[in-house]
Amino acid sequence: MSCTIIVGGFFGDEGKGKIVAHIAHQDRPSIISRGGVGPNAGHTVCIGEKEYGVRMVPSGFVYPEATLMIGSGVLVDPRVFLREVDLVGVRDRIFVDGRCGVIEEDHIARDKASDHLSKKIGSTGTGCGPANADRVLRTSRQAKDVPELAGFITDVAEDVNRALDSDEVVLLEGTQGFGISLYFGTYPFVTSKDTSASQIAADNGVGPTRVDDVIVVFKAYPTRVGEGPFSTEMSAARSHELGIEEFGTVTHRQRRIGTWDGKMARYSAMINGCTQAAITGIDRVDPACFGATEYDQLTKAARDFITQAEKDIGKPVTLISTGPEMSQIIDLRSEL
């Protein structure tokens, strides 16, 4: 049995998609299941010259032998889901828990019409907040009630636990980041539910005793989209000077850029129960590291950064991303 959860340690956009894709190809899971909020969270995975940006399909779809699942705690927009299923060609191996909440057109309209959500909070406008509110009120439909989803419905909790009982490898993929957790983030500038590892496990019906590893993904230069506190934020002029300019996968809004936040990293690692960490964007710390695949290829500046990050996090950094391609990564997990 092997169950690993991958979650974001800052405000989202940490590069979880690439980390999940890499681990999937290395560990060969039978199931990759998604927890989290819904289609307001995007994953971008680069394979060769092609870039995939998906919001509903687990980013681990790039590993062709895995069954893909969406856990019961996730909101499903049938329109987005069906479009992505055909876009990335996974119709024959993706399933949705019948208990997932459904995002209706009305939820999207309410999201966009709310000045509080769209202007003050900076909502993505995908309907997740109103849909989660209706779910709490017990008035929303579930995925099993949507005819278009009939061929995809399963009991994810049962399927995942059966795989673990058979000593198969399972990856649970989180969305967004710890800093916008409804319970632990910068409230009220947060998403509509918890985003921590505990929630990702619960979203998939996996008990805490079944989780072997929690990999928390941190970005060397954390980013944030939308409103809310960002204690290490730098000016746009400074980020441009450093050559850092990014845009959100879902909203396409320009991301705010900050410097490493050791205090937040430590707290995030604690709440998530981090067992090992991944650092992305080390080539932003020193461009000379771009494309490195061995730790010895890192410059002193990059190695010093990793050393400090490990002190802040309190756990080893075992995955270091050195560029956008899946091949541009240093994997130290075998050295634990």
**Does 253 carry a binding-site annotation?**
yes
Interior/surface letters 93-105, b for 16+ CB within 10 angstroms, e for the rest:
ebbbbbbbbbbbe
The structure tokens listed for 303 are 């190695």
Long-range contacts of 117-120 (CB under 8 A, 24+ apart): 120/188, 120/227
**Does 300 carry a binding-site annotation?**
no
Which of 25, 27, 43, 296 is catalytic? The answer is 43
**Does 243 carry a binding-site annotation?**
no
d(CA 293, CA 298): 9
Which of 13, 77, 134, 159 is catalytic? The answer is 13
End-to-end CA distance of the chain: 18
**Does 323 carry a binding-site annotation?**
yes
**Does 226 carry a binding-site annotation?**
no
**Does 17 carry a binding-site annotation?**
yes
Catalytic residue check, 13:
yes
**Does 22 carry a binding-site annotation?**
no
d(CA 336, CA 330): 14
**Does 321 carry a binding-site annotation?**
yes
d(CA 162, CA 325): 33
**Does 18 carry a binding-site annotation?**
yes
**Does 302 carry a binding-site annotation?**
no
- Cis omega (within 30 of 0) for bond into 78: no
**Does 43 carry a binding-site annotation?**
yes
**Does 50 carry a binding-site annotation?**
no
**Does 282 carry a binding-site annotation?**
yes
Catalytic residue check, 43:
yes
**Which residues carry a binding-site annotation for Mg(2+)?**
13, 42
**Which residues carry a binding-site annotation for GTP?**
12-18, 42-44, 255, 281-283, 321-323
Which residues are catalytic, by number?
13, 43
**Which residues carry a binding-site annotation for substrate?**
249-255
**Which residues carry a binding-site annotation for IMP?**
13-16, 40-43, 124, 138, 176, 191, 253
**Which residues carry a binding-site annotation?**
12-18, 40-44, 124, 138, 176, 191, 249-255, 281-283, 321-323
